[in-house]
Structure formats: C-alpha cells, structure tokens
Amino acid sequence: MSPKPALISGRNLVKKFKSLGYEKISQKGSHIKLKNYDNGSVIIIPDHKEIDRWTLKTILKQAEISEEEFNNTPGKK
C-alpha cells in the first residue's frame, strides 16, 4: 500500500505543475485548466483551499506523473 499523498491547496498545486512545464490556459469558476505543450496533456485543478488526497492522486494519474516525482518537484507543499 502506497503512502497517502500530502494535503495541498489548489493554488500551490498549480504552482507545482507550472514548474513541471504546464501553462494555465483557462479558468471557469473554481477550476483551472493547465496544459503541457510538450506532451499535450491537459489537467483540471479545483482551486480549493485543500485538495482531497484522492483527487490529487487522480490528477497525477491523468498527468502521468508519479507521486515520487511530484513530491521531489520544487514548490510549496
């Protein structure tokens, strides 16, 4: 069983993904859409105070990023 991902806010999650090469392409309400032009992946991040651990896990899966790689990325946790 893998360890639980850390709790993180939506804004800090966006900052971490920007450091991974994603760019904000739009926002509708409290949902921010990011795109990585290198691999074409698009993810949507809710701009909430705290992202649910399993929502974060699903976002990482969609972005094809391992939890280990994500945790080693510079940025706020």
What confidence tier does 3 reach under pLDDT thresholds 50, 70, 90? low
User: What mean pLDDT do residues 40-67 have?
Assistant: 93
Domain boundaries, given as residue ranges, for the chain:
10-71
- The CATH T-level fold of domain 10-71 is Metal Transport, Frataxin; Chain A (3.30.920)
d(Cα 46, Cα 49) in Å, to the nearest integer?
A: 9
Q: Looking at the predicted structure, is the pLDDT value of residue 43 above 70?
A: yes
Q: Looking at the predicted structure, is the pLDDT value of residue 4 above 70?
A: no
What confidence tier does 69 reach under pLDDT thresholds 50, 70, 90? confident
| Residue 70, token pair as written in the block | 């994500």
d(Cα 39, Cα 46) in Å, to the nearest integer?
A: 22
| Residue 37, token pair as written in the block | 């032009």
pLDDT at 67: 87
DSSP type of residue 9 = -
pLDDT at 5: 63
pTM for the structure as a whole: 0.83
